[in-house]
Amino acid sequence: MVALAVLLLAGFLPGLICERRAPALIVFGDSIVDTGNNNLLPTFIKSNFPPYGQDFVGREPTGRFSNGKIPSDFLASLLGIKEYLPPYLGTKLSPEDLLTGVSFASGGNGFDPLTSRLVSALSIKDQLKLFKEYSYKVKAIAGAEQGESILSEAVYIVCTGTDDIANTYFTTPFRQPFMDLPSYIQMTTRLASAFLVSLGARRIGFVSLPPIGCIPSQRTLGGGVERDCEPRRNEAAEMFNSEMTELLNSLSAKYPGSRIVFLDIYSPLLDMIKHPQSYGFIESRRGCCGTGTIEAASLCNPLTPITCLDDAKYLFWDSYHLTQRAYQLLNDILGRRYNNQF
């Protein structure tokens, strides 16, 4: 979820698209980049109801876990592909929709297969299977040669892993009693690396984990009475990011024809959390929905009051996900950070 993603991903574009505009954007991951796939799943990790989407076009709750646009949309727009990235499931996709890319992301997803199973979300393997099905459709529409070209030149985003740590490892009793934190991180990063290899894509943006311990819900669960940032969750995110950086460097060396870019959202998001006023926010410890300390997904619903007067002044929309303005601002920050590195 917040792995946030968050992404904003724009920063790696110069390195991924080179001189040619990407024909499509294809996204895998969790709720940060889920544009509505969970609407069709038997899961409580949903957001296709108010107050979600209150700042989206037509105030429509589409299944995006925010008050408006999410990273998938901002990147699709930045690439000049389309304004909104549709979910692969549950919508009538036109040939143009399919040829220009979709999101396979599912709220509650993780690299650990148990993470998705616990909430009936699409696992990363499920998303890969759907991508294979999607690939056949693209080639059927565009023809084998042109379809292969679209899939080859597309930008691929992978944004997941936060739920593995925040939910599966620290919140449930199924992993921590049998695996210490370093072992669990090694398992999830190994699975992440295997997924990237099986994806077979040439241009990949891999989004780092955020400072998980500073997400409002994690402050509530592990930050004590004062709801401070919980250090072990942040340590886990830093450990994951460090190991993934090494693994991605290794993959880049092994597959020199590919561009695999590690998008660090940990540092800029942590700065936004610690110094919200510097970014025009008045609140970074709680969200707008309800108390803002624990409500997310089904707990943020039509009966839950919105307690912020201006959601553009809040970093978090619910206790787990950023506001539309926060996503856009983070996107701009990363754009400046990565622009000269490619």
pLDDT of amino acid 80? 87
Q: Can you tell me which residue has the tokens 């990237």?
A: 196
What's the rounded mean pLDDT across residues 96-118? Answer: 98
For the packed helices 124-142 and 144-153, what is the interaxial angle rounded to 10 degrees? 140
Catalytic-role residue among 31, 103, 116, 284: 31
User: Could you tell me what percent of the chain has a pLDDT over 90?
Assistant: 86
pLDDT band of residue 7 (cuts 50, 70, 90) is very low
Please say whether the beta carbons of 171 and 225 come within 8 A: no
41-62 pLDDT, tens per residue? 999 999 999 999 999 999 999 9
Q: List the catalytic residue out of 30, 193, 217, 321.
A: 321
Average pLDDT score, the chain: 92
Domains of the chain by start residue, with CATH: 9-266 (3.40.50)
Report the alpha-carbon distance of residue 100 to residue 117 in Å, rounded.
30
Using the predicted structure, report yes or no on whether residue 11 has a pLDDT greater than 70.
no
Residue 141: pLDDT band with limits 50, 70, 90: very high
Q: Does pLDDT of 8 surpass 70?
A: no
Cα–Cα–Cα angle for 23, 143, 134, nearest 5°?
65
Q: What's the rounded Cα separation, in Å, for the pair 252 and 82?
A: 29
Least confident of 3-7, 252-256, 262-266: 3-7
Instruction: Inform me whether the pLDDT recorded for 239 exceeds 60.
Output: yes
Does the pLDDT of residue 317 top 80, yes or no?
yes
The mean per-residue pLDDT over the stretch 91-99 comes to 95
Q: What is the pLDDT of residues 152-176, one digit of tens each?
A: 999 999 999 999 999 999 999 999 9
pLDDT at position 334: 72
CB 116 within 8 A of CB 122: yes
Q: Confidence band (pLDDT; 50, 70, 90) for 339?
A: low
Which one of 30, 73, 311, 318 is the catalytic residue? Answer: 318
Look at residue 257 in the predicted model and tell me its pLDDT.
87
Given a cut of 80, whether residue 5 has pLDDT beyond it is: no
Residue ranges of E strands in 181-226: 203-207
Residue 18 has pLDDT above 80, yes or no: no
* Residue-level pLDDT at 26: 98
Q: Tell me, yes or no, if 275 is annotated catalytic.
A: no
pTM value > 0.85: yes
- pLDDT at position 13, please? 46
Q: How confident is the model at residue 9 (pLDDT cuts 50, 70, 90)?
A: very low
Give the pLDDT band (50/70/90) at residue 73.
very high
The dihedral built from the CA positions of residue 247, 253, 258 and 261, taken in this order, carries a sign that is: positive
pLDDT at 322 (0 to 100): 98
| Residue 237, CA distances (Å) to 190, 206, 269, 295, 302 in order | 15, 14, 13, 22, 33
Amino acid at 125: K
Which residue's entry shows tokens 């949309």?
A: 73
Lookup: tokens for 189: 């990063």
Please state the rounded mean pLDDT for residues 203-224.
Answer: 97
CA distances from 303 to 39, 66, 87, 297 (A): 19, 17, 26, 13
Question: If residue 155 lies in a helix (H) or strand (E), which one and from where to where?
Answer: strand 155-159
The continuous run of DSSP H or E covering 25 comes out as strand 25-29
The stretch 116-124 carries a mean pLDDT of 98
Predicted local confidence at residue 78, as pLDDT: 80
- 96 pLDDT more than 90: yes
- Is 70 exceeded by the pLDDT of residue 179? yes
Say what the pLDDT of residue 42 is. 97
The predicted structure's pLDDT at residue 331: 81
* DSSP-assigned letters across all residues of 44-101: S----STTTTTTSGGG---S-SSSS--HHHHHHHHTTS-SSPPBSSSS---HHHHHH-
Residue 325 pLDDT greater than 60, yes or no? yes
321 flagged as catalytic: yes
